[in-house]
């Protein structure tokens, strides 16, 4: 069972930064790519707020949460899944603080629920890579 003393706060901070900076970067690149096709900024915003745009943003954001959980777990080298959970929880708090008014309820629920699973999943992957595999020699 992980203990509070197992938490490396620097690893959690790095994970949260990877999550949020990665999401911001990917969404900015996506918006810039749409603008480069000749769409107006209003049309780009309309597309980003459509169901397809929200789903794409959700996928990109949750991928970055998983990456943040992975980096936090890799840095911590112990209690990996706990670090992934902490990255997700801090990400959830930031998402609530900076929540944009007018987003559909399904998007908020899917995002918040998905963040916990994504952070834990990324951390679990890091944990699996660190632990030696036990098996029969080939």
Give the per-residue SS3 of 83-123: HHHHHHHHHHHHHHHCCCCCCCHHHHHHHHHHHHHHHHHHH
pLDDT of 4: 82
Other beta carbons within 10 angstroms of residue 73's beta carbon come to 31
pLDDT of 6: 86
Asked whether residue 22 is assigned to any structural domain, the reply reads yes
Asked whether residue 13 is assigned to any structural domain, the reply reads yes
Domain that holds residue 28: 8-128
pTM: 0.88
Cβ–Cβ under 8 Å, residues 100 and 86: no
Does residue 135 register a pLDDT over 90?
no
14-42 pLDDT per residue, tens? 999 999 999 999 999 999 999 999 999 89
Asked whether residue 3 is assigned to any structural domain, the reply reads no
Q: For CA atoms 98, 99, 102, 103, give the dihedral sign.
A: positive
Count of domains for the chain: 1
């Amino acid at each position: 069972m992980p203990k509070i003393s197992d938490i490396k706060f620097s690893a959690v901070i790095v994970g949260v930064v990877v999550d949020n900076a990665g999401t911001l970067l990917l969404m900015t690149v996506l918006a810039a790519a749409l603008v480069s096709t000749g769409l107006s900024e209003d049309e780009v915003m309309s597309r980003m707020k459509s169901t397809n745009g929200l789903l794409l943003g959700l996928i990109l954001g949750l991928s970055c949460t998983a990456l943040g959980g992975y980096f936090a777990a890799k840095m911590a080298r112990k209690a990996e899944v706990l670090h992934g959970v902490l990255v997700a929880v801090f990400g959830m708090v930031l998402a609530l603080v900076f929540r944009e008014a007018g987003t559909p309820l399904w998007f908020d629920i899917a995002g918040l629920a998905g963040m916990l699973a994504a952070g834990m999943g990324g951390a679990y992957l890091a944990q699996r890579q660190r632990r030696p595999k036990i098996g029969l020699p080939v």
